[in-house]
Copies of this chain bind each other. A is one copy, B any other.
Amino acid sequence: MKIALDAMGGDFAPQAAVDGAVLAAQKLAGAAQIVLIGQEDAVRPLLQQHGAAADGLILQPASQIIEMGEHPAKAYQQKQDSSIAVGYRMLHNGEVEAFCSAGNTGAMLVGAMFSVKPVSGVMRPAIANFVPKLAGGFGILLDVGANAECKPEMLEQFGELGSLYAQYVLGIDKPKVGLMNLGEEEGKGTVVTQAAHQLLKVNPHIHFIGNIEGRDLFNDKADVIVCDGYTGNVVLKMAESVYDVLAEKQMHDPFFDKFNYEAIGGSPILGINDNAIIGHGVSTPEAICNMLLQGYQMAKSGIADQIKDTFKS
């Protein structure tokens, strides 16, 4: 199995990318090979610095870089030899089984939509992220930014996508799906959440437990938390800021330390035909390493096929 990494993506690339890939290769211990995609001149010397530890890593040349500030769709189209475009091409061609990048988030989404494409039957793919649970492990939160605005049917599908991920990748049996809302009662919320509640309630593929509230993010009410991308993004960034403040105050705790994005890896794009993960722009080697291990887990679990099966009817 091969997992690809955008060696040029992220604020500290290519150094952090190469260091993270070497770390991941050690942990994978041959279970999967890592393909580093990027400018040969920049990446090769960094690999050499690692000596024998980098022996198993494959370098796939890509001459261009999509910068963080570039217009995603335009850059993706114009830079066909960029590390992101090459990564998606390899993914689409089956040369690698997952593609990870801490680069331009918009370009990663563009590639997901236009290269590997949404699974037939999925209205709009979602970006998922993870919230630590007080009882241990993580829950999955989606969407966190791909779709600021959602139709009720999209939220219903996010419930299904998240439930499949929780089941097949996180290993949660019969995951509990909750709809983020401003009250527990069925009739609460916006027109969209009210309608989504009715759809989720009768969906036979999931175990819907009803509305949850902002205070339920960390408890064990729901393993899968469904919301629109606007809300998910606010929640995610707020959780990150809580971690940052605690870290700055040197208030450490095993639970709150799991808020650290580095421990989580990246955000999978769910509902597309292959496995793609978006990393944090400020990804450190540890974060890159965890994103690659997550890509390996996704590929091994066959989550993309599970999603295709569920939605093919």
Contacts and interface: CB of A to CB of B under 8 A. Distances in A.
Contact of A214 (B134, B191, B229, B238): B238
Interface string A180-222: 1111000011110100000000000000000001111111000
Contacts of A229: 182
B182 A145 contact: yes
A240 B213 CA distance: 11
A147 B26 CA distance: 52
Interface in A8-35: none
A52 interface: no
Contacts of A235: 214, 234-235, 238
Contact of A217 (B183, B230, B238, B253): B238
Nearest to A242: B242
Nearest to A105: B183
Nearest to A234: B214
Contacts of A191: 149
Contacts of A193: 148, 230
A150 to B, nearest CB: 9
A231 B233 contact: no
Nearest to A148: B190
A114 interface: no
Interface string A242-266: 1011000101010110000000000
Interface residues of A, number: 41
A237 interface: yes
B245 A218 contact: yes
Contact of A255 (B218, B239, B245): B245
A244 B213 CA distance: 15
A240 B189 CA distance: 20
Contacts of A227: 234
B233 A234 contact: no
Interface string A37-72: 000000000000000000000000000000000000
B241 A215 contact: yes
A115 B129 CA distance: 45
A48 to B, nearest CB: 38
Contacts of A240: 214-215
A216 B182 CA distance: 21
26 contacts: A134-B245, A145-B182, A148-B188, A148-B189, A148-B190, A148-B193, A149-B190, A182-B229, A182-B233, A189-B230, A213-B233, A214-B233, A214-B235, A214-B237, A214-B241, A215-B237, A215-B240, A217-B238, A219-B241, A231-B234, A234-B234, A234-B235, A235-B238, A245-B256, A249-B253, A249-B255
Nearest first, the 8 closest Cβ-Cβ pairs linking A and B are: A214-B237, A214-B238, A182-B233, A214-B234, A215-B241, A215-B237, A148-B190, A149-B190
Interface of A: 134, 145, 148-149, 180-183, 188-191, 193, 213-219, 227, 229-231, 233-242, 244-245, 249, 251, 253, 255-256
